[in-house]
């Protein structure tokens, strides 16, 4: 018998945010071997949980109170082994429930709670999205579903029974394999039972209940087992699932072939929902996706959408082993699952498409998102040492830099050594929660190496700067390379992470190197002691080291950090003539692109300074000539040429300009100017590219077709920058003749900032065509937000009143507000501060119901201290206004106080 309690949790109270430290980790006193969950889904959902608990032998045999996390729940009943607890037997608070005196070292606890999914606007825990019940439990959402020790080192098997109105939710899904289903006679309700035999942390729990269409397929594993694959979407969207299904099958086969990882359940389900704070979630056997990362058709999705779908499908599937079968001991170890899985999905895409192009794209992302994070107030180690709100650490540092650390391990040990270490990791920690130290120890054990110095990459924040100087002695035909590494000192005043044992200590930095002679020949690398370099890799392990090479018959130009062998900033003292030389002669595809970027960045820096001084620039021609020369190389693939045509971004320019007193408007003007120079200088060549770079077959999202479209649209962008009437007319014709969304969006992205008569007509027609498609309308919102035409702030405020926009839908907020702040530097950084005020207003409003989304928007202010004084003051005032909000969520409090700490 179970007692009726109806004791509700008090409303969430304003609290002084508490910092959590890695050093304070202790093992859980109680473990949960198995969880039985029963859901009666409805307006007020009733949840019955039965926890099979036992004392953790690691912490001793003394029976201690059982503390369970819980937020926003109404407690209905609580019992131990069927015996109801009296109110004096437990304590209830706004953050959890504590059983004061458990009766035995092993027992079953039954709890009945209720919650209201439709009222859950935080989109964490159990909520509804366009009528569908769904969950998001990472990082701490399970505590919004039932009382539980909500931490990743408590692993349990689960049996879940779902009950719902059959008409409202004919589809009932949970983790694992289906066990049974049936109807409840005379009630109009039905049920489904699922069982997951693999122990997992509660953040991987998931359920879905709704009226959804299903697209099915099958996959035969390497052992011959047939797995049923299902993708669930809103009715009418079935024709947009083919690419996602194809990507899933290719990812499953690739993981078997590359890492020997086979899928371990009978069914793999994916559900697409439209209200989701993240991109996707790897819940065991039941992945839940933001629908923009599932749904694609040539007329609704761009090549970039297709690539994202392919990559994210793979990423979430790969988590089955790196995240699910082996999870992280605590949230400080988040990089252990995310960084490693990003590395795996990057490798998958590189194998499926073009490895050089993929490497360039990944480094662009790292430099655009993670390098600025590492250089500012939000800097933190790949494995942080402290946090207030764990949701704030789903960052580019954990994901992208974390992936780079895995890649460096592979570079240091070689592919064979890396694969051996990873297999050892799978074998040793399957079914367990691991730490970074245990991960690294696996590579040390099988390769008999000491990676203790490499661990500093996980422990220290900031991007190392490597200074390189090459000297040549013609008499002895030797070349000496002097390398020095350091971290920016300012970092240690702002990040709060590099303290004590984690102070600025030298890293183990692999330097993949080439030396190229004056005629373009590449020298064999042999050190003065006769040693030949393995894979042309130097190991920089001291603050300063020198390496002398023999047999160098002419003065060489160094090709440093080939394939971006380490996530560092390189200062090599090369001149523009050296960059031009490397653009033409470097055999390493990445470094050939890198030389072009460095050349363009040198020009952009000069143009920006000229514009800020009030003078007219007269530079850019030499870079345009070098670019034209490389584009004429018929051996280069179209997608690679398209990457060559892309200029460095604002983050690259900010670093080149010294990271202080920045004027983003002048920086944007410099980019426009250089594009115009290129367009005019190479006009004939670009017109020819535009005419000839056409796919010969109907639209396909494969590498070849994507590359041709990227090249053609890059030429269109540079030609439009000339401002010539015929080039602008070409953009308009391009949009009207486009047979796919990729080409249409490329033209619209140009048109949005052009003050021409056709602009409003074309955008109105686009809206009229796609107003019923929420994903395509997101593109329309984003295009409007990115427009550099006057009145952008007022235009965005008006768009917020559009009936199709909602602050409660994260995709809409990211499309309009996120695009404005991240992709419209001219107006977000308006000198009058109106752009900052707009975004601050939105953050203050959203913080009331979705703190996680609000905190992510605050991060868009991270460069405020690097701005010139007027804009710096306006941005600081906006941040202070956010900080003054009462009450302010824990998520937003942490972000805004960290950002303002630098001031």
Active site residues: 316
Burial of residue 600, with CB atoms counted within 10 A of its CB: 0-12 exposed, 13-18 middle, 19 or more buried: buried
> Which alpha helices (H) appear in 632-702, and where do they start and end?
638-645, 650-656, 664-681, 683-692
CA-only gyration radius of the chain, Å:
28
Helix (H, G, I), strand (E, B) or coil at 78: strand
CA distance 579 to 572: 11
Cβ neighbours for 129, distance < 8 A, ≥ 6 positions apart? 123, 273, 274, 275, 276
- Each residue of 160-174: b (16+ CB within 10 Å) or e? bbbbbebebbebbbb
CA distance 289 to 282: 9
CA distance 123 to 412: 42
Q: Which two tokens stand for residue 778?
A: 């997101």
Helix (H, G, I), strand (E, B) or coil at 809: coil
Q: Is the peptide bond before 330 cis (omega within 30 degrees of 0)?
A: no
Helix (H, G, I), strand (E, B) or coil at 29: coil
CA distance 579 to 595: 5
Cβ contact 22:387 at 8 Å? no
Q: Is the peptide bond before 887 cis (omega within 30 degrees of 0)?
A: yes
Q: How far apart are the first and last CA of the chain?
A: 60
Cβ contact 47:125 at 8 Å? no
Are β-strands 514-516 and 432-434 bridged in parallel, bridged antiparallel, or unpaired?
unpaired
Question: What string of DSSP letters covers 710-779?
Answer: HHHHHHHHHHHTT--HHHHHHHHHHHHH-SSHHHHHHHHHHHTT---THHHHHHHHHHHHHTT-HHHHHH
Q: Give all strands of the β-sheet with 280-281 in edge-to-edge order.
A: 213-220, 226-233, 267-273, 286-290, 280-281
Cβ neighbours for 188, distance < 8 A, ≥ 6 positions apart? 165, 166, 167
Region of residue 525 (left: phi > 0; alpha: psi -120 to 50; beta: else): beta
Closest CA to 203 of 288, 91, 96, 82: 288
CA distance 751 to 758: 9
Q: Which two tokens stand for residue 338?
A: 């995310």
Q: Which two tokens stand for residue 664?
A: 């983003």
Three-class DSSP labels, 858-885: HHHHCCHHHECHHHHHHHHHHHHHHHCC
CA distance 706 to 725: 28
**H or E stretch at 491:** helix 491-494
In the structure, how many helices (H) and strands (E) does the chain have? 30, 33
CA distance 745 to 870: 35
CB neighbours of residue 258 within 10 Å:
14
CA distance 638 to 354: 11
Cβ contact 383:332 at 8 Å? yes
């Amino acid at each position: 018998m179970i007692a009726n309690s109806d004791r509700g949790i008090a409303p969430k109270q304003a609290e002084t945010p508490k910092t959590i430290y890695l050093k304070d980790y202790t093992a859980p006193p109680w473990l949960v071997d198995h969880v039985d969950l029963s859901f009666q889904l409805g307006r007020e959902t009733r949840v019955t949980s039965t926890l099979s608990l036992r004392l953790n032998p690691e912490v001793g045999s003394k029976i201690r109170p059982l503390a369970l996390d819980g937020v926003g729940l109404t407690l209905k009943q609580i019992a131990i082994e069927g015996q109801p607890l009296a109110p004096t037997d437990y304590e209830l608070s706004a953050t959890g429930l504590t059983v004061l005196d458990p009766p035995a070292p092993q027992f079953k606890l039954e709890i009945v709670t209720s919650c209201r999914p439709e009222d859950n606007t935080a989109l964490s825990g159990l909520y509804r999205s366009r009528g569908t019940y769904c969950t998001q439990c990472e990082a701490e959402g399970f505590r919004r579903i039932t009382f539980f020790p909500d931490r990743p080192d408590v692993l349990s098997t689960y049996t879940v029974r779902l009950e719902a109105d059959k008409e409202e939710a004919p589809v009932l899904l949970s983790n694992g394999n289906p066990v049974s289903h049936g109807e409840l006679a005379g009630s109009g309700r039905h049920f489904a039972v699922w069982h997951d035999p693999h122990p997992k942390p509660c953040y991987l729990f998931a359920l879905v209940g709704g009226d959804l269409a299903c697209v099915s397929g099958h996959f035969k594993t390497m052992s011959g087992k047939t797995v049923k694959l299902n993708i669930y979407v809103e009715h009418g969207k079935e024709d947009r699932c083919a690419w996602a299904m194809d990507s899933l099958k290719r990812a499953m086969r690739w993981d078997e072939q590359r890492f020997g990882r086979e899928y371990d359940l009978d069914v793999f389900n994916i559900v697409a929902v439209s209200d989701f704070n993240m991109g996707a979630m790897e819940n065991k056997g039941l992945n839940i996706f933001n629908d923009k990362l599932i749904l694609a058709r040539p007329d609704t999705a761009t090549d970039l959408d297709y690539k994202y779908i392919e990559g994210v499908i793979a990423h979430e599937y790969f988590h089955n082993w790196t995240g699910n079968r082996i999870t992280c001991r605590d949230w400080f170890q988040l990089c252990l699952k995310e960084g490693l899985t990003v590395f795996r999905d990057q490798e998958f895409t590189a194998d499926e498409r073009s490895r050089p192009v993929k490497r360039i794209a990944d480094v662009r992302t790292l430099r655009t998102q993670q390098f600025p994070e590492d250089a500012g107030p939000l800097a933190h180690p790949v494995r942080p040492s402290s946090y207030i709100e764990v949701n704030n650490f789903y960052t580019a540092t954990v994901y992208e830099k974390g992936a780079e650390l895995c890649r460096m391990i592979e570079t240091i040990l070689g592919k064979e050594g890396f694969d051996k270490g990873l297999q050892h990791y799978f074998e040793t920690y399957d079914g367990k929660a691991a730490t970074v130290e245990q991960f690294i120890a696996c590579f040390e054990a099988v390769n008999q190496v000491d990676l203790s110095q490499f661990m500093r990459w996980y422990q220290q924040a900031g991007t190392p700067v490597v200074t390189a100087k090459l000297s040549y002695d013609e008499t002895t035909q030797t070349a000496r390379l002097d390398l020095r590494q350091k971290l920016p000192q300012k970092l240690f005043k702002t990040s709060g992470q590099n303290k004590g044992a984690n102070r600025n200590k030298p890293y183990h930095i692999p330097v993949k190197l080439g030396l190229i002679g004056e005629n373009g020949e590449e020298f064999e690398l042999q050190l003065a002691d006769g040693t030949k370099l393995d894979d042309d890799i130097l190991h920089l392990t001291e603050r300063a080291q020198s390496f002398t090479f023999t047999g160098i018959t002419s003065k060489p130009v160094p090709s440093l950090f080939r394939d971006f062998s380490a996530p560092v900033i390189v200062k090599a003292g090369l001149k523009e003539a050296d960059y031009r030389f490397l653009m033409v002669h470097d055999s390493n595809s990445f470094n050939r692109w890198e030389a072009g970027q460095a050349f363009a960045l040198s020009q952009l820096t000069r143009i920006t300074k000229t514009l800020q001084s009030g003078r007219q620039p007269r530079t850019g021609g030499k870079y345009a000539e070098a670019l034209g020369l490389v584009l004429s190389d018929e051996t280069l693939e179209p997608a690679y040429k398209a990457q060559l045509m892309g200029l460095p971004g604002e983050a690259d320019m900010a670093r080149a300009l010294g990271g202080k007193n920045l004027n983003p408007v002048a920086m944007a003007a410099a980019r426009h100017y250089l594009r115009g120079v290129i367009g005019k200088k190479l006009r004939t060549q670009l017109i020819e590219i535009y005419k000839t770079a056409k796919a010969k077959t109907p639209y396909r999202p494969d590498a070849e077709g994507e590359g041709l479209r990227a090249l053609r649209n890059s030429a269109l962008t540079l030609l439009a920058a000339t401002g010539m009437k015929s080039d602008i007319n070409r953009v308009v014709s391009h949009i009207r003749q486009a047979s796919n969304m990729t080409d249409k969006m490329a033209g619209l992205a140009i048109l949005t900032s052009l003050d021409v008569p056709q602009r409003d007509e074309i955008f109105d027609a686009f809206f009229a065509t796609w107003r019923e498609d929420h994903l395509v309308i997101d593109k329309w919102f984003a295009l409007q937000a990115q427009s550099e035409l006057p009145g952008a702030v007022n235009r965005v405020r008006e768009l917020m009143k559009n009936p199709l926009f909602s602050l409660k839908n994260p995709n809409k907020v990211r499309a309009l507000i996120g695009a404005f702040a991240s992709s419209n530097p001219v107006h977000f950084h308006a000198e009058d501060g109106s752009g900052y005020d707009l975004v601050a207003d939105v953050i203050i409003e959203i913080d009331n119901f979705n703190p996680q989304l609000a905190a992510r928007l605050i991060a868009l202010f991270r460069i405020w201290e690097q701005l010139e004084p007027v804009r710096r003051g306006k941005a600081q005032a906006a941040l202070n206004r956010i900080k003054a909000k009462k009450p302010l969520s824990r998520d937003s409090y942490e972000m805004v106080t960290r950002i303002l700490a630098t001031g």
